[in-house]
Amino acid sequence: MVFPAYRWRVRVYSLFPFVVFDYLLTGLFIEGFGEEANRAVRAFMVGLDSVPVGLAAFTLAFYGPVYVTLCYLSNTDWSRVREAEFFDSLARRIRPLYDVVIGLGVAARHFDGGMSWVYPLESGLWIPVGFVLYLTLVHFGTMWYELGR
């Protein structure tokens, strides 16, 4: 997974608003532990006996490693690794898979979680909308950075 550093930064900056969006809306609208649909988040809330502390602990426990990895990769010098053409061809193949996994697994789930408080949909339509929004942010951010270089 050899991306230029700015592409990792764009992904960090694109992913973070989805988590904050879900965190803030859940914190604003939830009145009791039973209202949270995600069982893992609810377990953190009940175990820590606090909605905001449970939300923060869940976010740090499950998405902290994602942020740490992305921040590490965005500050790593990949110039020596790029000299091998094998890694560049591997990166071109992995990039779409990475965007699908992070986009659907993290960004779209958080968008669905946040929007479910505002306007719940039974069919799960917010997941594809969040995924498309994440991909749009990532690719426009990458293009914007390229234009500024």
Q: How many CB atoms sit inside 10 A of residue 144's CB?
A: 10
pLDDT at 53 over 60: yes
CA–CA separation, 65 vs 129, rounded Å? 25
Q: Is 10 exposed, middle or buried (0-12, 13-18, 19+ CB in 10 A)?
A: buried
Q: What's the whole-number mean pLDDT along residues 115-139?
A: 84
The torsion angles phi and psi of 101, rounded to 5 degrees, stand at -65, -50
50-64 average pLDDT score: 87
pLDDT band for 1, please (50, 70, 90 cuts).
Answer: very low
Q: What is the pLDDT of residues 88-106, one digit of tens each?
A: 666 667 777 878 888 888 8
Q: How confident is the model at residue 48 (pLDDT cuts 50, 70, 90)?
A: very high
Average pLDDT, whole number, for the chain?
79
Output the pLDDT for position 3: 46
Q: Which residue has the tokens 């921040």?
A: 71
Rg of the chain on CA atoms, in Å: 17
- What pLDDT sits at residue 32? 85
Asked if the model's pLDDT at residue 12 lies above 90, the reply is no
Nearest CA to 14 among 125, 146, 111?
111
Q: From residue 140, give the alpha-carbon distance in Å to each of 9, 11, 48, 143.
A: 13, 11, 39, 5
Contacts 24+ apart (CB under 8 A), 35-42: 37/113, 37/116, 38/113
- In angstroms, the CA 70 to CA 112 distance is 23
What pLDDT shows up at residue 90?
66
pLDDT at 46: 93
Q: Band of the pLDDT at 47, cuts 50, 70, 90?
A: very high
Q: How confident is the model at residue 2 (pLDDT cuts 50, 70, 90)?
A: very low
Give yes or no for a contact between 139 and 60, defined as CB atoms under 8 angstroms apart: no
**Sign of the alpha-carbon torsion through 119, 107, 20, 129:** negative
